[in-house]
Amino acid sequence: MTGTFNDGAAYERLMGRWSRKIGHLLLDWLDVAPGLDWLDVGCGNGAFTEEVIARCKPHAITGIDPSDGQLAFARSRAEGASATYIVGNAMKLPFADASFDVSVMPLVIAFVPDPLAGVREMKRTTRKGGIVAAYMWDFTVSSRPGAVITDTLKKMGVPPDYPPRIDAARQDKMREIWTEAGLVDVETRELRIMTEFPSFEDFWSSNTLPVGPLGMFVSKLDDEKRNELKREVRAALPGSADGPVAIPAWANAVKGRVV
């Protein structure tokens, strides 16, 4: 699954812009002081990292991700020079205990084979009193920007690929994982945004880039099936498919405190 996220520029068009937009809501919810040490687990192309820098004025921020390609893009961002980016595994973080004040996993937990191990690692590397948080699209409902495509594939009898741990994106499962990891004052909430595209073609092309499970799946369809999918998706969208496309999307979020 890691190998499907190597193109930072493509990921920016697919998901980075929405990660930043919904990340605003998470950062407002966390409401932490400036001048802290942050860890961004699964930072990808640095979209959320850049928002933390701009909005939270951290003392330092470290992003970790398994993809060299994504990290290269992250380092090229305007704010990239003020962050530290390293290659690593969410389930075995290469940091000493109590290294950070805030550890966040943005749009990642469903891709971690053992979510509990990843959260335990974030807790281990976060100082007492610090915050461990995450947010993720809920794959059990049609909440993602490209959910209409996966829903249409299922109706066509062509079940799409999903991340390995979509169960970890549910609010009840998030609460369970955070509690089992030993975090306290655990809270969950829903974060809602509107994803907007200037046209159907922009919606289609950005959501079917060969990045991530859905895009890779669609790219492997034969031309006839892919064209059929495109027609069905266009018909399934509300309003005129020739004008702007606006689709509500929401993610589940969780936070807890280290003691």
pLDDT, tens only, 75-117: 888 776 689 999 999 999 999 999 999 999 999 999 999 999 9
Say how many domains are in the chain: 1
CA distance 243 to 240: 6
CA distance 147 to 202: 15
Domain around 117: 2-257
Q: For the chain, how are helix, strand and coil distributed in percent, rounded to 5? A: 45, 25, 30
CA distance 223 to 40: 39
User: What's the mean pLDDT when you consider all of the chain?
Assistant: 89
Query: Which token pair is 150?
Result: 């996966």
Contact 102, 126 (CB under 8 A): yes
**Helices 223-236 and 200-207 meet at what angle, rounded to 10?**
130
Contact 65, 2 (CB under 8 A): no
Does 162 score more than 70 pLDDT? yes
pTM: 0.89
Q: In what order do the strands lie in the sheet with 100-106?
A: 84-87, 60-65, 37-41, 100-106, 126-137, 245-257, 184-197
CA gyration radius, the chain = 18
Which residue carries 């064209």 as its tokens? 227
User: With pLDDT > 90 as the criterion, what percentage of the chain qualifies?
Assistant: 56
Does 151 score more than 80 pLDDT? yes
Task: Count CB-CB contacts under 10 A for residue 34.
Answer: 9
- What pLDDT, on a 0 to 100 scale, did the predictor assign at position 6? 62
**DSSP sequence for 33-62:** PSS-EEEEET-TTSHHHHHHHHHH--SEEE
- pLDDT tens-digit readout, 43-79: 988 889 999 999 999 999 999 999 988 898 888 887 7
Read off the CATH number of the domain in which 13 is found: 3.40.50.150
Single-letter code of the amino acid located at 224: E
- pLDDT tens-digit readout, 1-41: 444 666 666 667 667 677 778 888 999 999 999 999 999 99
